[in-house]
Amino acid sequence: MLRETTVAIIGSGLAGISLALRLADQGVGCLILTKSKLASGSSVWAQGGIAAVLDPQDSFDSHIQDTLEAGAGLCHEAAVRTVVEGAPDAIRWLSHAGVHFDGEDASSQGLHLAREGGHSHRRVAHVADTTGRAVVNTLDRQILASPNISVLENHTAIDLIVGPVGRDSQRQGVAGLYALDGETGAVTTIHAQAVVLATGGASKAYLYTSNPDSSTGDGVAMAWRAGCSVANLEFVQFHPTCLYHPHAGNFLISEAVRGEGGKLLLPDGTPFMTSHDGRAELAPRDIVARAIDYEMKKGGHDCVYLDISHLGARQIKQHFPGIYERCLSFSIDITKEPVPVVPAAHYTCGGITTDLNGRTDLEGLYALGENAHTGLHGANRLASNSLLECIVFSERATPAILKYLESSSPIGPRPPDWDESQVSDPDELVVVAHNWDELRRFMWDYVGIVRTSRRLQRAANRLHLLHEEIRDFYSHFRVNRDLLELRNLVAVSELIVRCAAERRESRGLHFTQDFPSPVPGQRHDTVLRPAPKH
């Protein structure tokens, strides 16, 4: 089956849908592909909010400095300034779109601003503790009402199509993609003038994660296979406080809980963060996650505890209703008792290298959101800068894409259809399930919060074997979603390990016992480029 569109957007999180709305307002036809339903992806799960300088006592320079400090010397200052200075307009754009942020005092333009770890001021606009869901649901209503936007649900992107673009047959770029229809099992050829990767991160490579099952690194893997460079994938952010309960799945306890005075405690009730960092619970996430990891291993604890009960029942229920209700469903009353928490893989700070307009190395291919490396996050993302990045870069990418569409018109020749004439139905799908489990366990053990050169080499050896096994499986059998996601996770895991092995120092989220201190000479991005195709 063939589908044609002007712009194909892979991913239905905040980056993808905000770009689709902006392009649609300019009369551009967009097709959004999502692996499940429209309101899916990591953006929906974002609890904290969106950082922006809205308080007269705050300043752009302060927000920039906090971001640079969290990024441990690897942030690109131009990217940081671009995003920080675009933040107030991002909040206004969302408010105009119908997002109703929590409001209290007039000094902050009518918004209640929370404070989170790493921030020197209250600057996080939020909708209670379910900001991501509120924002995505609001914008999704506009997506469904737009005559210029189509949505293809239950479709998993397989690979990008690179070929002739525009009127010049010698001009090579991205001409579309292949996608698996999850309902019929058929592969659709999507012919597009431009393609945008907004697929989120790759935290599902780890055994414990706060992310939904869809976070399998699809965008990074597809871009790498198509010839794009990637950067800084060694920097995987582990959220310090994921609810520890056998039936809780991937539920986060928001950074804002610590921002409101929540204390981290050992099982015997002893606070411990002041012995790790002078900022205690308000230290950046990498420091808090390592502190918890250290205390759990030192004491042999399954978890630590986060206590917010001092705030009082009324304020807890007002500011953290989602967390309160979720914990209560597991018989944990956070107004009276501490919450058991553990760190979990949360955010991929590196990704596909882009410029400040979302352009990648390939003509006609753009990347936005968590699967992109814009230079904003450096070696560690500052809390609540991620949703902000999605909005600001969707605004910046819009004129760049419009200009490209004009220069590449008309759409190039039809790409070839998917060929599965040499494959058969898989006979041992259990292999995929077993490989998936093996990958997530050794990535957690060897490429987690604390690393060593030996652990990285062990991971590399296992990844090589998995890569060969999956390549053989992929070559001989019809694809399904599990196989495609595992193929992408293994590819991105190999890139994570390669980046980590190249960084022979500890910086930000990358901590190795062999090189426990930062090295000034390694204050640069870890950039990987695919080998040229012959």
**Is 231 part of a structural domain of the chain?**
no
Pair (148, 28) in one structural domain: yes
Domain that holds residue 486: 430-518
**Is residue 360 assigned to a domain?**
yes
pLDDT of residue 186: 94
Among 38-42, 120-124, 186-190, 260-264, the minimum mean pLDDT is found in 38-42
Asked whether residue 337 falls in the same domain as residue 396, the answer is no
Tell me the per-residue pLDDT of 100-156, one tens digit each, with 9 for 90 and over.
Answer: 999 854 454 578 898 887 899 999 999 987 888 899 999 999 999 999 999 999 999
Residue 62 lies in a domain: yes
Residue 415 lies in a domain: no
Containing 62, the helix (H) or strand (E) segment is helix 60-70
3-state class (DSSP) for residue 439: helix
Q: pTM of the entire structure?
A: 0.91
CATH number for the domain harbouring residue 327: 3.90.700.10
pLDDT mean across residues, the chain: 92
pLDDT, position 250: 77
d(CA 413, CA 29): 18
Task: Report the pLDDT value the prediction gives residue 41, as an integer from 0 to 100.
Answer: 64
**Boundary of a domain, candidates 341, 358, 388:** 341
- Residue pair 193/364 in contact (Cβ under 8 Å)? The answer is yes
pLDDT of residue 106: 46
Q: Are residues 148 and 19 in the same domain?
A: yes
pLDDT in tens, 2-19: 999 999 999 999 999 999
Checking if the pLDDT of 351 tops 80, the result is yes
Rounded distance between C-alpha atoms, residue 14 and residue 263, angstroms: 31
Q: Are residues 140 and 104 in the same domain?
A: yes
Q: How far is Cα 384 from Cα 388, in angstroms, rounded to an integer? A: 7
Q: Among residues 303, 323, 341, which one ends one of the domains? A: 341
pLDDT digits over 216-238, tens only? 999 999 999 999 999 999 999 99
Q: SS3 for 68?
A: helix
**Residue 110's pLDDT is what?**
78
Tokens of 163: 């070929």
Q: Are residues 353 and 325 in the same domain?
A: no
For 66-78, what is each residue's pLDDT tens digit? 999 999 999 999 9
Mean pLDDT of 283-309: 91
Q: Phi, psi (5° rounding) for residue 259?
A: -65, -25
Beta strand pairing call for 339-348 and 304-307: antiparallel
In the prediction, which pLDDT does 216 show? 95
Q: Radius of gyration (Cα) for the chain, nearest Å? A: 22
Do residue 134 and residue 269 come from a single domain?
Answer: no
DSSP string for 221-274? HHHHHHT--EE-TT-EEEEEEEE--TT--S-B--HHHHHTT-EEE-TTS-B-GG
Least confident of 30-34, 176-180, 529-533: 529-533
Residue pair 217/201 in contact (Cβ under 8 Å)? The answer is yes
Average pLDDT over residues 159-176: 85
Among 369, 331, 384, which Cα is nearest to 70's?
A: 384
| pLDDT for residue 210 | 86
pLDDT digits (tens, 9 = 90+) for 175-216: 999 999 999 999 999 999 999 999 999 999 998 888 888 899
In a shared domain, residues 123 and 22: yes
- Least confident range of 159-163, 177-181, 471-475, 512-516: 471-475
CB atoms inside a 10 Å sphere around CB 531:
6
- Out of 105-114, 303-312, 349-358, least confident range: 105-114
Question: Among 304, 325, 341, where does a domain finish?
Answer: 341
β-partners of residue 60 are none
> Does residue 259 sit in the same domain as residue 312?
yes
C-alpha span between 89 and 391 (Å, rounded): 9
Rounded (5°) CA angle 512-516-521: 100
Does residue 400 form part of some domain? yes
pLDDT of residue 42: 66
User: Rounded to the nearest 5 degrees, what angle is found at the Cα of 355, between the Cα atoms of 354 and 360?
Assistant: 40
Confidence at residue 476, expressed as pLDDT on a 0 to 100 scale: 82
Residue 129, pLDDT score: 76
110 within a domain of the structure (yes/no)? yes
Domain identity same for 93 and 134: yes
- Band of residue 44 on the pLDDT scale cut at 50, 70, 90: low
CATH number at residue 443: 1.20.58.100
Residue 533 belongs to some domain of the structure: no
Q: Is residue 218 part of a domain?
A: no
Does residue 136 share a domain with residue 66? yes
User: Do 466 and 394 share a structural domain?
Assistant: no
Kindly state whether residues 387 and 351 are assigned to the same domain.
Answer: yes
Count of the separate structural domains present in the chain: 3
Catalytic residue ranges: 285
